[in-house]
Structure 1
Amino acid sequence: MKRLRIPLYLTVASLTLFYCQSNKHTINKLVSTATEPEVKVDSFDSSPFLSPQEAMKRFEVTDGFKIQLIAAEPLVSTPVAMIFDDQARMYVAEMTGYMPDSLGTGEEIPNGNIVILEDSDKNGVYDKRKVLIDSLVLPRALCLIDDGILVAEPTNLWFYKLDNDQVVGKELVDPQYTEGGNVEHQPNGLLRAMDNWIYNAKSAKRYRKLDGKWVIERTHFRGQWGITQDNNGRIYYNNNSQNLLGDYFAPGLGAWNKNQKRVEGYNEKAVANNKVYPIRPTPGVNRGYMKNILNDQLKLNEFTAASGPMIYRGDLFGKEFAFNSFVPEPSANLIKRNIMSENGYEVHGEQAYTGKEFIASTDERFRPVNLYNAPDGSMIILDMYRGIIQHKTYLTPYLKNQIGMRELTQPLSAGRIYKVVPTSFSPKSVVLSAEPTALLAYLGHENGWIRDRAQQNIIDRKITSLVPKLKAAMAQTENELMAIHALWTLEGLGELSAKEVVSTIASKPWVIRRQAYAAVPSVISAQNEPEFSRVFAERFAANDTLSAPYLAYLANYVSVYNKKAADDLLVKLAKRYANNPYVADAIISNLQDREDLFEKEIANSVDSKSYLISELKKTSKAASEARKNRNPDILKKQFPKGEALFTSVCQTCHGPDGNGVASLAPPLNQSEWVTGDKNRLISVVLFGLTGPVTVNGHMYQTPEVSGDMPGIGYDDAMQNEDIAQLLSYIRKSWRNNADVVSTQEVSTVRKSLAGRENAFTETELNSRQ
């Protein structure tokens, strides 16, 4: 392939293969933003490994801010997730084994770590490293809780009990934490949210420790890599091609009806604009040869690897940065800023800049994968700092060639952690006091990280002596953030009373009232249900539209003790809000397998053309079709390799029910692409498909689905027999009943297409038939 050449102005310093300087005073000097380019280079073929000093010169940072390097190799390697403790030490997950080369050779080697980094003299630069847990295979998430730490190591979720930075016990919390999904598509995050549950991206599970036992519950399926929350406890995430997605309502509600494909108000496009503005050509993306992926300057047009987002909750950047979101795009070497706003139920954001980014680099190896709020109000960037970030499952020949052209495989030992601060910022030490009265005061702090840690500390240490003052803090309204955190701290201690929740719903401002709604499941009982039903009826009578979705969701908990009261509430809501999608979907979330009965009950009082009736019919139909599906256990025994491959590669985008996932992929269930011509199906699975694509008369295109389905035939380790089993499995699953695919058929198509480097289009495939 001819090497691409285009004039490019870059700063080029000496090529450094390994950075071995551990002197922290050297790092201390690396606190300024990028300088002006120094050298004209007529090729971007080269992407040399840069020392941290050189990499710092490649940044462009928005006016008023600077980047500080606070840790680098050999102190840290391949950081992908982190969390601060009360002394501002960083616990970092090192995914050392990720893609050692373009074949993924040795990924299964247990060389990952959880390390503790410490800034011993409090000057803002980390200088001490302690390995807390070693010999892990691709660790991806961590969470401090109680007297230990949760660590996600596929396929397991472990809890390590700690004493003086030593592991003194180990408990398996979930042996199927990452069931399904390859390295790129496995659960991650472990966000300890405001409601005291732990949520994840690329997952439909949430976790909590109650009465000494770990509890796992179903929740909404969310995101791909990275998860964050705002000051109201709403959850945000994304997928690789979407800037930012999020929930409008409390994260623990509404995921109960398995027949309901989508619940309005969850998995919403919080920021719809996916444009990016790299400051260097970015041909090294998987589909860089495709139309519109790159612009005429060979720069990425839109997100293709959106990663761990962050809602800024600090007290350092200034008021104009309150409720801003930041999203890294490692394939384009940049970090996006969005300005968020709330209107009624909804939260939407707009990009802060046109034609530029908050942070961008001309260094191709700058790979920001996760962002975090810090104790001092700054923003933390985790930079894997390596060339290869695409997993082998989806690594096209085009991208392999790009990797080879610029020698991006080595080295593998690097990793940088940066802090973003205002230009006038000077390093400051932030250490949380352990005193109960100080922790109580922290609940009203302007910095969200401090509020969160204070809440978690009081709960983990079971400081019940604060209960009277927490109740007083919850009752006041001068500091709404303190009232919110006091409420959830009481909930976490088991000291929140139903009376207080009812009173808050009846009389407090909306910002606090919606938190009380979210806390109802924790306190409702047979004894106090009448009080909740009464206050819900009062809010309905007051025509409280903001409360209406919550009233519908909470009918689910009322029904446990008083089914008639719950059903009466749902009927009243249906009559008034039949065309409100948020209320209607909240109603349907209560009605698993009784959608038909409810539709008949309201038929005479609700417009047959309303949104509610339409969605009831869809959900009822989905339930009916699901009952006709083939037995998955039988298919698993018949095609064990096919089922395993579907679970690890296909399920995350097409859904376990084969009905597709919004923003990701169209359905496989009863799709003519699956049940039709075998050679066409084999070709698509081997080498991918670029949209738009028509399935059962409906044209799917971005943003309804991702614009591109990657193929798996580029991976030499993917055996023809396994692919044949995969295709046979999906051709027999759900309501599909097509012929099986043989190993020979896959082999024949694979040989006929040998050397192909680009994905198919629907037009091309149709012309081949």
Structure 2
Amino acid sequence: MKGYKYIVLAIALFSLYQCQSYKSVVHSNSITGMAKGIDFSSSPVVAAHESISKMRIEDGFDIQLVAAEPLVSTPVAMSFDASGRMWVVEMSGYMPDSMGRGEDKPNGKIVILEDKNHDGVADTRKVFLDSLVLPRSICLIEDGILVAEPPRLWYYKIKNDKPAGRTLVDAKFADEGNVEHQPNGLMRALDNWIYNAKDSKRFRKRGDKWIVEQTHFRGQWGITQDDYGRLYYNDNSTNLIGDFFSPGFGSGNKNLRGVAGYNERSVADNRVYPIRPTTGINRGYVPGMLDDSLRLKEFTAACGPVIYRGDLFGDAYKWNAFVAEPTGNLIKRDILTQDGFKIKGKQAYQNREFLASIDERFRPVSLYNGPDGALYVVDMYRGIIQHKTYVTPYLRNEFAKRNLSEPLGCGRIYKIVPKNKKTNLITIPNDPQQQVALLGNANGFVRDLTQQVMVDQKNGNAIPYLKAALKNHNNPFQVIHVMWTLEGVNALQTNEVLALLKDANWIVRAQALSVLPSVVNTSSYQFYAEALQQLIANDDQLAAPYIAYAANYIKPFNEKLSDALLVSLVKKYPNDNFVIDAVVSTLPYKEEVFKQSIAKELPDSNLRINKQLQRAINNFKSTQKNRDPELIAKLYPKGAALFLSSCQTCHASDGNGIKSLAPPLNKSEWVNGDKSKLISIVMFGLTGPIKVNGHVYESPEISADMPGIGHSEEISDEDIAQVLNFIRNSWQNDASKIDVKEVGAIRTKYKGREKAFTEEELNK
């Protein structure tokens, strides 16, 4: 670790002569047809002000430059502190060339950017940490910062903007997957837990200890929340995915694969509308990937989603989602609506985007709300965006044609604001009374940050102000954040939660139900059980799934009371998907006993409750037949390692696939059957739909495409043979061995092939 002065002296001579820094630029461009007559045969690096001039944004908005090289380089993620400074992750080592050579060099950094003269543009830079290998996300908390540097998650204490010792939080935070498929996000949610994309862990700091719990597996790159603490995410080919319920519930039963209300397609329409040809995508040669104008038709690199929660854009933009698509050089806007529990959305426009650019190097990878109500855009500004593991020969040729490999030292951060509207950067004061007032601010980001600061400070003088504000029925958002702040400082009392459970406003009741796991104890569980029974008696159907989830936390104190709540729910809502899945999620390895206990009153096997219980029972029995994973890993060590890095993140460690990503490998006829078909799929990829065990998997149930790994120079025929033998002998698969020569024969047979296979081709 090395400390840097405020202004960086140099990045690299080669990048400095092409990448330039500009102090302050404001521009908007809504010209239609701006791409007509432009030569796209080259993609030169242009300065930030010129790149802005190549963007087309929705009428009424401006794009403002906040930082550019040399002040920032290759940014991929950021976070604001209480003073409004930006802490930025620089992944400088990403894809140094088209082969990814040199990615293991420790040149990544965490830097602090500050706008000292308050003109809206960062003017100083401090390097907090350097010598990092591909850092990917950060989270400021208490007197330190979490830093994800694969495979580890570290907590660094901060003293005078310098690291003052570190603690290992998780040695295996990102030990699986390549750069495109490793955990990231580290987002502090409304419930005071830290959640991630491409991961099933959540984290919380209690004193000097870090608590790690399992939760739902979510997304790929980027994670965000709405005003009610529900999480949203996506994968590279999916617009937006989200949860209908609070994030901490529903993941406790491994026998229940997929829980209604989690990992739901929020926006099913994946169409995109670039304003330039986008031939530089990995499968640009595949029919249907590009339209007649050679422009990307559907998401292939969706990432960095954010629910806009600021107070600048106006009512039409409340509860809107924005999604980045770096390969299409655009940012999409989605409009979300709620019907009961279901959150669904649609694209804001047809045939156009909220923001799109004709600059191929404009690579928006992460989007954020800001303390001034603006929408912040992290632009990696790089030619190569596809990781080496999946780069096809076609794409390498595209890199070479337009010299996309260089330079490497660029990067920009922008913010989007309404035209002619003054922004006001809100910083978090230390006065507790002022802090409590900010918990009701119209800007959701300010509410979040204030809550986090108060939880971190644990100032006892703030508690009387918090408790007084808890009774403010005129501002439900303030009530919600006050409640979670009190929870975060261990000052939330039973009588307060019971009062909130009776609140006339549903969103307040929902938060009170969500906080129960933190407050139930030996002296309070009976009061909460009575309150939950009363909600059932009141026919509060909105509360019903939450009651099922909450009952699980009464179980350690009184299992009979917990079961009585569940029985009451299934008798009243035996076919409600959300209620039933919530009930079954609380019954790991007790499904059969529960099924027998309700058999007399609910004998119909076609009821949702009985179907889901039986599915969970069958899944458990099936899992018992699985082979010993450690034994298989010893037989095929290279295969086990390659499965971990390239396959598990989509197909799951148990081989049963992951909702919205990939179908099962366990007991799949494609895995256990014809060797040549399986080898072909893994080497060259597969384009869906595909039928597995009688079920047709297609988008949006799974991703439309599986990339091949046969073009990677780092993966040999022996490696491919090993990973195939690993999956053909894992779980309940029992197939014959694949020889290295058989892999080589397929490589020779399809020499020069770039496109992925379809099921129809393979069956021929």
- Structure 2: how far apart are the matches of 1:180 and 1:360? 33
Partner secondary structure for residue 366 of structure 2: strand
Q: 1:706 aligns with which of 678, 703, 708?
A: 703
Contact residue 328 and residue 369 of structure 1 kept, 8 A: yes
Q: How has the CA–CA distance of structure 1 residues 626 and 255 changed in structure 2, closer, same or farther, with 3 Å as cutoff?
A: same
Q: What TM-score, normalized to structure 2?
A: 0.96
Matched, 1:600 2:596: yes
Q: How has the CA–CA distance of structure 1 residues 620 and 40 changed in structure 2, closer, same or farther, with 3 Å as cutoff?
A: closer
Q: How has the CA–CA distance of structure 1 residues 33 and 731 changed in structure 2, closer, same or farther, with 3 Å as cutoff?
A: same
Match of 2:508 in 1: 512
Matched, 1:184 2:180: yes
- Structure 2: how far apart are the matches of 1:427 and 1:348? 31
Match of 1:107 in 2: 103
Contact residue 30 and residue 59 of structure 2 kept, 8 A: no
Q: Could you tell me which amino acid in structure 2 is paired with residue 489 of structure 1?
A: T
Residue 716 (structure 1) shift: 1.3
Contact residue 441 and residue 447 of structure 2 kept, 8 A: yes
Contact residue 35 and residue 57 of structure 1 kept, 8 A: no
Q: How does 1:390-539 map to 2 (within 5 A)?
A: 390-426=386-422, 428-539=424-535
Query: Which deviates further from its counterpart, 402-411 or 141-150?
Result: 402-411
Partner secondary structure for residue 511 of structure 1: helix
- Structure 2: how far apart are the matches of 1:387 and 1:656? 34
Q: How has the CA–CA distance of structure 1 residues 730 and 39 changed in structure 2, closer, same or farther, with 3 Å as cutoff?
A: closer
- Structure 1: how far apart are the matches of 2:241 and 2:430? 36
Q: 2:720 aligns with which of 723, 728, 733?
A: 723
- Structure 2: how far apart are the matches of 1:190 and 1:182? 18
Q: Could you tell me which amino acid in structure 2 is paired with residue 231 of structure 1?
A: D
Partner secondary structure for residue 284 of structure 1: coil
Match of 2:618 in 1: 621
Contact residue 28 and residue 55 of structure 2 kept, 8 A: no
Partner secondary structure for residue 530 of structure 1: helix
Match of 2:230 in 1: 234
Match of 2:6 in 1: none
Q: 2:747 aligns with which of 734, 746, 750?
A: 750
Which residues of structure 2 form unaligned runs of 5+?
1-12
Partner secondary structure for residue 50 of structure 1: coil
Q: 2:169 aligns with which of 135, 149, 173?
A: 173
Q: 1:117 aligns with which of 113, 118, 126?
A: 113
Residue 528 (structure 1) shift: 1.1
Q: Could you tell me which amino acid in structure 2 is paired with residue 193 of structure 1?
A: A
Query: Which deviates further from its counterpart, 687-696 or 188-197?
Result: 687-696
Q: Could you tell me which amino acid in structure 1 is paired with residue 643 of structure 2?
A: F
Q: Could you tell me which amino acid in structure 2 is paired with residue 195 of structure 1?
A: D
Residue 431 (structure 1) shift: 2.7
- Structure 2: how far apart are the matches of 1:125 and 1:183? 30
- Structure 2: how far apart are the matches of 1:100 and 1:216? 34
Partner secondary structure for residue 694 of structure 1: strand
- Structure 2: how far apart are the matches of 1:445 and 1:650? 44
Q: How does 1:15-30 map to 2 (within 5 A)?
A: 18=15, 26-30=22-26
Matched, 1:644 2:641: yes
Contact residue 134 and residue 150 of structure 2 kept, 8 A: yes
Residue 22 (structure 1) shift: 9.5
- Structure 1: how far apart are the matches of 2:404 and 2:49? 19
- Structure 1: how far apart are the matches of 2:476 and 2:25? 41
Contact residue 20 and residue 73 of structure 1 kept, 8 A: no
- Aligned-pair Cα RMSD in Å: 1.7
Partner secondary structure for residue 399 of structure 1: helix
Tell me the alpha carbon deviations over residues 94-113 of structure 1, each in whole angstroms, 9 at most, x when there is no partner. Answer: 00011111111011111000
Residue 456 (structure 1) shift: 1.1
- Structure 2: how far apart are the matches of 1:727 and 1:320? 51
Q: 1:214 aligns with which of 194, 199, 210?
A: 210
Matched, 1:591 2:587: yes
Q: 2:192 aligns with which of 196, 199, 207?
A: 196
Q: How has the CA–CA distance of structure 1 residues 225 and 40 changed in structure 2, closer, same or farther, with 3 Å as cutoff?
A: closer
Q: What TM-score, normalized to structure 1?
A: 0.95
Partner secondary structure for residue 507 of structure 1: coil
Q: How has the CA–CA distance of structure 1 residues 716 and 157 changed in structure 2, closer, same or farther, with 3 Å as cutoff?
A: same
Match of 1:308 in 2: 304
- Structure 1: how far apart are the matches of 2:17 and 2:478? 46
- Structure 2: how far apart are the matches of 1:529 and 1:39? 64
Match of 1:689 in 2: 686
Residue 465 (structure 1) shift: 1.1
Q: Could you tell me which amino acid in structure 2 is paired with residue 714 of structure 1?
A: H
Match of 2:53 in 1: 57
Q: How does 1:126-141 map to 2 (within 5 A)?
A: 126-141=122-137
Contact residue 26 and residue 62 of structure 2 kept, 8 A: no
Contact residue 47 and residue 363 of structure 1 kept, 8 A: yes
Residue 292 (structure 1) shift: 2.0
Contact residue 35 and residue 58 of structure 1 kept, 8 A: no
- Structure 2: how far apart are the matches of 1:22 and 1:363? 14
Q: Could you tell me which amino acid in structure 2 is paired with residue 732 of structure 1?
A: N
Match of 1:151 in 2: 147
- Structure 2: how far apart are the matches of 1:563 and 1:36? 64
Q: How does 1:240-389 map to 2 (within 5 A)?
A: 240-389=236-385
Tell me the alpha carbon deviations over residues 587-634 of structure 1, each in whole angstroms, 9 at most, x when there is no partner. Answer: 000111122222222223223212222222212111111000001111
Q: How has the CA–CA distance of structure 1 residues 522 and 129 changed in structure 2, closer, same or farther, with 3 Å as cutoff?
A: same
Q: Could you tell me which amino acid in structure 1 is paired with residue 692 of structure 2?
A: V
Matched, 1:70 2:62: no
Query: Which deviates further from its counterpart, 450-459 or 152-161?
Result: 450-459
Contact residue 123 and residue 428 of structure 1 kept, 8 A: no
Contact residue 17 and residue 50 of structure 1 kept, 8 A: no
- Structure 1: how far apart are the matches of 2:37 and 2:531? 70
Residue 19 (structure 1) shift: 5.1
Contact residue 95 and residue 384 of structure 2 kept, 8 A: yes
Q: Could you tell me which amino acid in structure 2 is paired with residue 450 of structure 1?
A: V
Matched, 1:580 2:576: yes
Match of 1:632 in 2: 629
- Structure 2: how far apart are the matches of 1:52 and 1:37? 22
Residue 418 (structure 1) shift: 0.4
Residue 683 (structure 1) shift: 1.2
Query: Which deviates further from its counterpart, 276-285 or 369-378?
Result: 276-285
Percent identical residues: 52
- Structure 2: how far apart are the matches of 1:254 and 1:164? 41
- Structure 2: how far apart are the matches of 1:352 and 1:421? 18
Match of 1:11 in 2: none
Q: Could you tell me which amino acid in structure 1 is paired with residue 272 of structure 2?
A: V
Residue 491 (structure 1) shift: 0.2
Contact residue 665 and residue 705 of structure 1 kept, 8 A: yes
Match of 1:676 in 2: 673
Contact residue 122 and residue 428 of structure 1 kept, 8 A: no
Q: How has the CA–CA distance of structure 1 residues 593 and 23 changed in structure 2, closer, same or farther, with 3 Å as cutoff?
A: closer
Q: How has the CA–CA distance of structure 1 residues 755 and 72 changed in structure 2, closer, same or farther, with 3 Å as cutoff?
A: same
Residue 37 (structure 1) shift: 7.9
Q: How has the CA–CA distance of structure 1 residues 391 and 29 changed in structure 2, closer, same or farther, with 3 Å as cutoff?
A: closer
- Structure 2: how far apart are the matches of 1:295 and 1:35? 22
- Structure 2: how far apart are the matches of 1:38 and 1:402? 23
Residue 83 (structure 1) shift: 0.5
Residue 438 (structure 1) shift: 1.3
Contact residue 241 and residue 264 of structure 2 kept, 8 A: yes
> What number of residue pairs does the alignment pair up?
751
Q: Could you tell me which amino acid in structure 2 is paired with residue 72 of structure 1?
A: A
Tell me the alpha carbon deviations over residues 26-47 of structure 1, each in whole angstroms, 9 at most, x when there is no partner. Answer: 4314444477888964642211
- Structure 1: how far apart are the matches of 2:492 and 2:65? 43
Contact residue 201 and residue 222 of structure 1 kept, 8 A: yes
Q: 1:556 aligns with which of 552, 556, 559?
A: 552
